[in-house]
Amino acid sequence: MGRVLLVRDTSLGKELALKVLLDPPDRPGAIEEFQREFALLSRLEHPSIARSYDFGYLDGLPYFTSEFIPGEPLATGGRGESREAVLGHLLEVVDAVAFLHRSEVLHLDIKPANVIVGSAPGRARAVLIDFGLFRRGFTVFPGRKVKGSLPYMAPEYFRGEGLGAWTDVYALGVTIYRALTRRFPRAWRKTGPGEAAEIEWDPVPAPPSQHWPSLPAGLDNILLRCLALDPASRFRDAGELLEALRRVEGGTSFQCRAATPLLTVGREADLARARRFLQDLMKAGKGKPAVVSTLLVTGPAGLGQSHFLRELKVEAQTQGFRFILETGYPGWSGPPGSLLRSIGIHLEEDGSGRSRWEAFLSRLPGGGHPPTPPAGAHRVSPHSGESRADHPSSPRSRGDARTLPPVGRAGG
């Protein structure tokens, strides 16, 4: 299990969510699962999925930072939102899960508590969080110890059958039904003691329109198909469900953004060489990162060096390296060293390193200060993909750390 804190990045001047694994990890493999969760989220870009930024260790415990979404968990009819607004948020969630399924990723913990509806101006959209139970692949198996949140878990969890996109579809069906009607679709009960207990479900839920008569025509059949006890009777994946929801008569108008996973295509050999470079550094440092070597990445503009380095950043940080990624923007022609200024933020103030670094920058043309972007230049937020500066998020450089409001289970 983990804990989520709201922290402020003093160098970036923005609030982030910081997730840290509890001490000590409560089971073998917890740290590896935590690393995989960060690696997945740092490679996904979708408007309804919270992006992760940096990974590190504090007193031997792993943590990572991610986008903080000011807002509340998905409403279950109690916030006074219109039917159209609720349906719009639900479509955003289905769109996010459809994106995951196209990327061969299963969330496996979809529920209203893991969906935050943003409250910031211009960000009033639903965002899917908590990927602690995710799995890769079209079919996976639940294992001996079943993990999840009843009653959002599909019957195949308890039958020892394969989990797939259809399993997320079932959870989406329960989430949509619950959000629209304030009720769970069906009752369930245990038929035995302890972990050996089996689960029985009522066979056919009541149509949601029975609880909310003004729901769009056709939504009953869609949700009942999602909630079928037989996986073969459900929609194959969230993409198929999304298309069905779009066709509902009187449904909310919604267009899916064409999002794709961040993949390093065509540079697999280069990435393998970079991994070997990191492994050699670990060997040289006897299990701890060494800092006596340099990796130079070159190539013509447009070859993808920035994305390649972001991929390498994920690999390095999960192995314990401190990694500072600095990139420019098209047409940027600043003085030498201007992109290196932020490194000084991470040097100890009470040592000689900070003053020596500042003295070095001061001897460069322009003093190492970043120039003003040219007119019309596009300069994006530091953590928004084509980043100007992705700074390692270290708790010691943060102020005003506090526990986040309860937005769902945190942990792997």
Ordered by where they begin, the domains of the chain are: 2-68+304-403 (3.30.200.20), 74-246 (1.10.510.10)
pTM for this model (two decimals): 0.68
Q: Poorest-confidence range of 136-145, 160-169, 245-254, 382-391?
A: 382-391
pLDDT average, residue stretch 209-234: 92
Strand partners, 55: 64
Tell me the pLDDT band of 271, cut-offs 50, 70 and 90. Answer: confident
The torsion angles phi and psi of 19, rounded to 5 degrees, stand at -110, 125
Q: Residue 168's pLDDT is what?
A: 97
Tell me the pLDDT band of 143, cut-offs 50, 70 and 90. Answer: low
Q: Which residue has the higher pLDDT, 343 or 120?
A: 120
Q: Residue 286's pLDDT is what?
A: 66
Q: Residue 41's pLDDT is what?
A: 87
CB 84 within 8 A of CB 67: no
For residue 200, pLDDT over 90 is answered with: no
Beta-carbon contacts of residue 391 (< 8 Å; ≥ 6 apart): 9, 11, 12, 54, 324, 342, 345, 346, 382
For residue 216, pLDDT over 50 is answered with: yes
Q: Which residue has the higher pLDDT, 7 or 268?
A: 7
Per the document, the length of the chain is 412
Q: Residue 248's pLDDT is what?
A: 80
CB 338 within 8 A of CB 362: no
Q: What letter represents residue 234's amino acid? A: R
Beta-carbon contacts of residue 207 (< 8 Å; ≥ 6 apart): 220, 223, 224
Q: Residue 261's pLDDT is what?
A: 52
For residue 282, pLDDT over 50 is answered with: yes
For residue 223, pLDDT over 70 is answered with: yes
Tell me the pLDDT band of 289, cut-offs 50, 70 and 90. Answer: low
Q: E-strand spans in 280-384?
A: 325-326
CA atoms in the 13 A half-sphere facing the CB of 399: 5
Q: Residue 378's pLDDT is what?
A: 33
Would you call the peptide bond into 121 cis, given omega within 30 degrees of 0 as the criterion? no
Per-residue pLDDT tens digits for 126-139 = 999 988 888 888 77
Per-residue pLDDT tens digits for 330-350 = 555 555 555 566 566 566 665
Q: Which residue has the higher pLDDT, 40 or 168?
A: 168
For residue 364, pLDDT over 60 is answered with: yes
Q: Which of 200-214, 286-300, 322-336, 347-361 has the highest mean pLDDT?
A: 200-214
pLDDT average, residue stretch 294-305: 67
Q: In the block, which residue shows the tokens 């990327």? A: 103
Closest CA to 5 of 60, 61, 48: 61
Residue 280 has which token pair?
A: 């050699």
C-alpha 373/C-alpha 379 separation (Å) is 8
Q: Residue 280's pLDDT is what?
A: 82
Tell me the pLDDT band of 386, cut-offs 50, 70 and 90. Answer: very low
Q: In the block, which residue shows the tokens 């800092």? A: 291
C-alpha 363/C-alpha 244 separation (Å) is 63
Q: Poorest-confidence range of 144-158, 243-257, 380-394?
A: 380-394
Residue 392 has which token pair?
A: 């390692």
Residue 28 has which token pair?
A: 């073998």
Q: Poorest-confidence range of 70-74, 112-116, 136-140, 152-156?
A: 136-140
Q: At what angle do helices 83-102 and 165-181 cross, to 10 degrees?
A: 170
Q: Give how far the C-alpha of residue 334 lies from the chain's centroid of Cα atoms, to the nearest Å.
A: 33
